[in-house]
A = this chain, B = another copy of it.
Amino acid sequence: MTLRIAILGAGRIGQVHARAVSATPNTRLVAISDPMADVVKRLAETYGCDIRSIDEIAASDDVDAVLICTPTNTHADLIEQFAKAGKAVFCEKPVDLSLARVKECLKTVESEGASLMVGFQRRFDPDFMALKQAIDEGRIGEVEMITLTSRDPGPPPYDYIKVSGGIFRDMTIHDFDVARWLLGEKVETVQAAASVLTDAKIGELGDYDSVNVILTTASGKQCTITNTRRATYGYDQRIEVLGSKGSVSAENHREANIEIADGSGYVRPPLLNFFMSRYVNAYANEIAAFSDAVANGTPTPTTGHDGMMALALADASLKSVEEGRAVKVSDVLDAA
C-alpha cells in the first residue's frame, strides 16, 4: 500500500518534508497547498504533484494523511479540520502557543479517533536514537541526570520572535521533549533562569536569549537544559546522560571531519550552522516513522500529548523565571 500525502505550507519546512516524502518508500506526495503561488508551483513541478486549496485537500479521497507546515497560529484549527476529515495528521510543533487551546484541540482529536503526530524531529536523529538505544539496553543502568546543551548560531528575525511565544516555547520546547523522552518519568518541578545577554532588542520584545532550566522528576531525577540564541561556532546540539552504571553522550556534527594543525594549534571546522542540515536525517526518519505508523495503524511515535507536555514545561519555566520559584508542572496543566 502506498500512503498518499498532502503538504499544507510550502515554506522552508514544507520543502524539507516534500523531499522526505519523495524519498520515502511506499509514500506518494499527492498535493501541496500554499497561498504563495510561485513557490507552490515550483514545488509541485519538482515533485509532480497537484496544487490544491486546504479545503480541497480535506475533501480529497486520494489523500490519506497531511503534513501541517503552516504558521503556528493555524495549527490547532487545521488539526481539528483534518481530524474531522478523517485524515492522519502530522503537525509541526507547537500545536498552539496556548496550553488551553492545545487541550481543547487534543480533545477533538481524541473524540474523532484521529491519528496525530507532533513534529519533534530530534527523537529521530540517528545519533540520539543510538543514545536512546544504549539507555534502553541498560548500558548505563538507571537514568539519573541529563545535561542538554542546545545553542542556536544566531537569533531568528525580530518579527518571528514577536510571534514565537518566547524562547521557552519556541526553542527550549525541543529540549523539553528530548528530556521527557530520555527521563522516562514525569517531570514534577521546573526551575528556570533567563537573561538577555546577546541582543538588548530581544529583551525589548519581551523575550530572553539565554536560559538555563532544571527539571526534576518525582523520584529525583534531574535534567538541565542550557540554551542560547548565539553560539559563534555553529549549531550546538549535545546530550549527556548519567546513569547508575555509566554515562552516554552524543556529539555535534561538523562541516567536515578534518583537522588542520600548525603552530597555532589543531583546528577542526565549526559545527553545521543550520538546524535543517544538522537534522536532515532526522527529518527524513521522522516522516518515514509517521508514514509507517499510519500505514500500519500503530500509534505515532510522538503524539499530541507530547506536544502538550512540552508546552506545559515551557509555560512552567516562564512562570519560574517570573516568580523566582520552583513551579509544579501539574499546577500549570491544571490552570490551563
Contact = CB atoms under 8 A, between A and B. Distances in A.
Given A214-B191, A255-B130, A256-B126, A266 B267 contact: yes
Closest 3 CB pairs of A and B: A195-B220, A246-B262, A130-B256
A242 B231 contact: yes
A181 interface: no
Contact of A247 (B196, B231, B253): B231
Given A127-B256, A140-B260, A268 B265 contact: yes
Interface string A296-336: 00000000000000000000000000001110000000000
B145 A228 contact: yes
A258 B144 contact: no
A106 B69 CA distance: 54
User: How many copies of the polypeptide does the oligomer hold?
Assistant: 4
A145 to B, nearest CB: 6
A191 B189 contact: no
Interface in A112-139: 126-127, 129-131, 134, 139
Interface string A159-184: 00000000000000000000000000
A222 interface: yes
A260 B139 CA distance: 8
A151 interface: yes
Interface string A139-156: 110001101010100000
A111 interface: no
Interface string A222-265: 10101010111100000000101111111111011111111111
A266 to B, nearest CB: 4
Interface of A: 126-127, 129-131, 134, 139-140, 144-145, 147, 149, 151, 189, 191, 193, 195-198, 210-212, 214, 216, 219-222, 224, 226, 228, 230-233, 242, 244-253, 255-270, 324-326
Give the one of A246, A249, A265, A267 with max B CB within 10 A: A265
B197 A144 contact: yes
B258 A249 contact: yes
A214 B233 contact: no
Give the one of A195, A219, A230, A262 with max B CB within 10 A: A262
B244 A221 contact: no
A122 to B, nearest CB: 14
A232 B141 CA distance: 11
Contact of A258 (B244, B248, B268, B270): B248
A54 B253 CA distance: 44
Contacts of A226: 145, 147, 224
Contacts of A197: 144-145, 219-221, 244
A210 B264 CA distance: 23
Contacts of A266: 233, 267-270
A324 to B, nearest CB: 4
